[in-house]
Amino acid sequence: METPVCDGDGVLPKRSLRRKVSLKNYDEKLMDELIEKHLGGPLKKRNRTRADLEKETEMEAMIALSLGFPIDALLDEEIKAGVVRDMGGKEQNDYIVVRNHILARWRDNVRVWLCKGQIRETVSSEYEHLISSAYDFLLYNGYINFGVSPAFTSHIPEEASSERSVLIIGAGLAGLAAARQLLSFGFKVLVLEGRNRPGGRVYTQKLGKKGHYAAVELGGSVITGIHANPLGVLARQLSIPLHKVRDKCPLYKPDGTLVDEERDSTIEFTFNRLLDKVTELRKIMGGFASDISLGSVLDTLQELYSVAKSKEERQLLDWHLANLEYANAGCVSELSAAYWDQDDPYEMGGDHCFLAGGNWRLIKALCEGVPILYGKTVRTIRHGSDGVEVIAGDQVFQADIVLCTVPLGVLKRKTITFEPELPKRKLDAINRLGFGLLNKVAIVFPHVFWGEDLDTFGCLSNHAHERGEFFLFYSYHTVSGGAVLVALVAGEATQDFERTDPTILLHRVLKVLRGIYNPKGIDVPNPIQTVCTKWGSDALSYGSYSHVRVGSTGVDYDIVAESVGSRLFFAGEATSRKYPATMHGAFLSGLREAGHIFRTTRTLQMYGRKYGQKNPGPNLDALLSLFRRPDLAVGNFLFIIDPLTKDPKSLGLLRVVLEDLSSVFCSDCNLMVDRGTKCPMHGNLPLELYAIVSREQVEQLQLVEGGDRDRLLYLFNDLGLKLMGPSALGALGHSVVTRISSARRGRGRYRLGSA
């Protein structure tokens, strides 16, 4: 992966959220105006001179460039899709012009569905094959006609025309983006979401008093870079205004006094120079830097150049480190010195913005028309050549394909069992990448006391290990409908945060605020409502967002994104190498995988399978593996017992091998039939039948005198049990097998450890 290049001044563009002061607020029509300014009005075929056309082509190339398309080359995806027959020649050049034209046409008005017919009005018919090729590529890869415009509803088939079905795990931005795309491609889609709400890590909560609610972002909040950002497209489609986060960000010392502006800029410059040095150093070190943390390199450089010697300078430098730890949701001691900023070259340009009324407005619009089942926490994903099965609670969902969009934290914890297990290469990448923590304290006050002209202000800390605690405050008074402040907790400080009593936390935040404002004669009122987030202990996230940890690289994002076979696909923030840790990265990954699924099913001519639900049976391999080491054998009766309890009611399994019996039993009819004969109803008899038995029933069966036939009769007549095939053991059988298998694994580990 390329490292970013220095600009003319030799200063790297940094992730800092503090930017130069600008008085102009973001105008939602910025892109429209930009395009119109350069194009001289809406595109018209007629009356254009050659000079007009050239100017137009140039402008369209610039728009394509801002969307990530190279000026004079094809994207890798375009090459793979075979958009042109002859690479590098005239056909490729013509294709690029047509493709750029289509992109610009759609961006010109993202509220309407762009049809091929409209392109034919402005591009000569001699390029018909290129129109089709470019249009199809852009449509099926989510570059045009995506989003939530009400005008698109007619393009989502009511009764999907395709028989192919996709289960999507997770109703976050990735899952919802994929769901809408797949529906518009004609797939049958069902989203399974563990929470009782959509949005995942985008969570706008209504706080405050009845009638005066404020919309407060507890998760993803800032649209980072509005140009070419797909979330900006959604906002435009919904006519939701955006508010540019103004760059003015005063910093306050721990005693509440204002940091001198000049000193602030000097240390900011020093901090950026240190990061430049890291970039230079890693070029010299080559691959070695991948095993070193950014923190350790920065420590060494700080010593070497003897920077930030005074207490205040050290505190200022710590503030910038906290800001970096916030952007990466990880301590500098965890970030890879070599690759922590591998995504910098792809940063979206333009202002950082808040969405008026909160990001839930995007989520709400994305959910419209998408079938979602809430409260369905998926525990097992089975994938094979003939389809997929997804188990949530006691329900099994079947489909052709599954798209898993759960956070990296969930994949790391392995709370979902993949059958068969994920490839080692993917498991290794999941382990290597980091998934860190950022938390927030959201506070609603009765009024704005910090100044209407501020969107952010920062606070320095006395101690390095506390530098991330309330280091930055975001004010949402411009967009939330209330006087809302959100204090961020990043880096080392956020580890203890979730274990601390929220009243203590609130007391600490108020102390910081009163330390700043009371000496100015400004009263800090008591809050109306407060919320402290706990993203680290959230069982459907286990953290906030991903980063490149020591030992990992950007390639790991690509590996996490890889599909397994042609049935199991992955999307989500941590599958996006170019835009990880962001809302737009999550959204784009959903569009990407929708296109990937579309191409895969088309190539394989996969035949459709309707959704189905059935009682889940245990995994056959796990069941057979348990009976390779039965706990008890009496005649042809084999027993598996729960090793973790002596409770007589605890459940185990019985397998009866019928081959040596003089009579056998047909489980479907509940009948004994003579050996060698067939049950008249059900033909060939299965050889091995199962039952779920309690420990107490196992003991009773053990005491039956006689042989297998007597035990069978006792089983039916006295215990009232029924023998059945493995799949009929249902959800209960599945949970007994899972519990005993994992108990046995635990026992094995214990034995090894104590040896």
Residues of this chain that interact with ligand FAD (CB under 6 A) are 169-175, 192-195, 200-202, 219-222, 224, 376-378, 405-407, 410, 416, 438, 440, 535, 540-541, 544-545, 572-573, 581-583, 586
Closer residue to ligand FAD in complex, CB, 527/572: 572
Give the three-state DSSP class for 304.
Answer: helix
Closer residue to ligand FAD in complex, CB, 152/545: 545
Cβ pair 223, 354 in contact under 8 A: yes
Nearest residue to 719 (alpha-carbon basis) of 708, 729, 727, 711: 711
Work out how close the CB of 543 gets to ligand FAD at its nearest, in angstroms, rounded to a whole number.
8
For 437-482, strand residue ranges (E) read 439-445, 456-459, 469-475
* 709/664 Cα distance (integer angstroms): 9
Q: Write phi, then psi, for 151 (nearest 5 degrees).
A: -65, -15
Work out how close the CB of 7 gets to ligand FAD at its nearest, in angstroms, rounded to a whole number.
24
Cβ pair 590, 571 in contact under 8 A: yes
* 665/725 Cα distance (integer angstroms): 12
Closer residue to ligand FAD in complex, CB, 192/337: 192
If one counts every other C-beta atom within 10 angstroms of the C-beta of residue 239, the result is 8
Closer residue to ligand FAD in complex, CB, 190/729: 190
Write the burial class of residue 525 (CB in 10 Å: 0-12 exposed, 13-18 middle, 19+ buried).
Answer: exposed
- Name the amino acid, one letter, at 300: T
Write the burial class of residue 170 (CB in 10 Å: 0-12 exposed, 13-18 middle, 19+ buried).
Answer: buried
Closer residue to ligand FAD in complex, CB, 328/694: 328
Work out how close the CB of 376 gets to ligand FAD at its nearest, in angstroms, rounded to a whole number.
6
Closer residue to ligand FAD in complex, CB, 510/540: 540
Closer residue to ligand FAD in complex, CB, 198/726: 198
Q: Residue holding tokens 């852009």?
A: 138
Work out how close the CB of 420 gets to ligand FAD at its nearest, in angstroms, rounded to a whole number.
18
Work out how close the CB of 238 gets to ligand FAD at its nearest, in angstroms, rounded to a whole number.
18
Cβ pair 435, 201 in contact under 8 A: no
- The verdict on whether omega for the bond into residue 420 sits within 30 degrees of 0, i.e. cis, is yes
Q: Which residues pair with 639 in a beta bridge?
A: 632, 654
Cβ pair 222, 16 in contact under 8 A: no
Closer residue to ligand FAD in complex, CB, 471/627: 471
Closer residue to ligand FAD in complex, CB, 438/564: 438
* 35/713 Cα distance (integer angstroms): 83
Closer residue to ligand FAD in complex, CB, 101/236: 236
Give the three-state DSSP class for 206.
Answer: strand
Work out how close the CB of 530 gets to ligand FAD at its nearest, in angstroms, rounded to a whole number.
16
Structure-token pair, residue 312: 């205040």
Cβ pair 598, 185 in contact under 8 A: yes
Closer residue to ligand FAD in complex, CB, 192/308: 192
* 354/731 Cα distance (integer angstroms): 46
* 20/374 Cα distance (integer angstroms): 43
If one counts every other C-beta atom within 10 angstroms of the C-beta of residue 225, the result is 20
Closer residue to ligand FAD in complex, CB, 572/652: 572
Closer residue to ligand FAD in complex, CB, 141/546: 546
Work out how close the CB of 414 gets to ligand FAD at its nearest, in angstroms, rounded to a whole number.
11
Work out how close the CB of 278 gets to ligand FAD at its nearest, in angstroms, rounded to a whole number.
24
Q: Is 414 left (phi over 0), alpha (psi -120 to 50) or beta?
A: left
Closer residue to ligand FAD in complex, CB, 353/715: 353
Work out how close the CB of 82 gets to ligand FAD at its nearest, in angstroms, rounded to a whole number.
30
Work out how close the CB of 95 gets to ligand FAD at its nearest, in angstroms, rounded to a whole number.
32
If one counts every other C-beta atom within 10 angstroms of the C-beta of residue 340, the result is 26
Q: How far is CA 94 from CA 39, 97, 217, 582, in A?
A: 20, 5, 46, 35
Q: Is 748 left (phi over 0), alpha (psi -120 to 50) or beta?
A: alpha
Closer residue to ligand FAD in complex, CB, 173/701: 173
Work out how close the CB of 174 gets to ligand FAD at its nearest, in angstroms, rounded to a whole number.
3
Work out how close the CB of 412 gets to ligand FAD at its nearest, in angstroms, rounded to a whole number.
12
Work out how close the CB of 650 gets to ligand FAD at its nearest, in angstroms, rounded to a whole number.
27
Work out how close the CB of 236 gets to ligand FAD at its nearest, in angstroms, rounded to a whole number.
17
Cβ pair 660, 636 in contact under 8 A: yes
For strands 251-252 and 456-459, give the pairing: parallel
Cβ pair 119, 135 in contact under 8 A: yes
- Name the amino acid, one letter, at 741: S
For 511-586, strand residue ranges (E) read 529-532, 545-547, 568-570
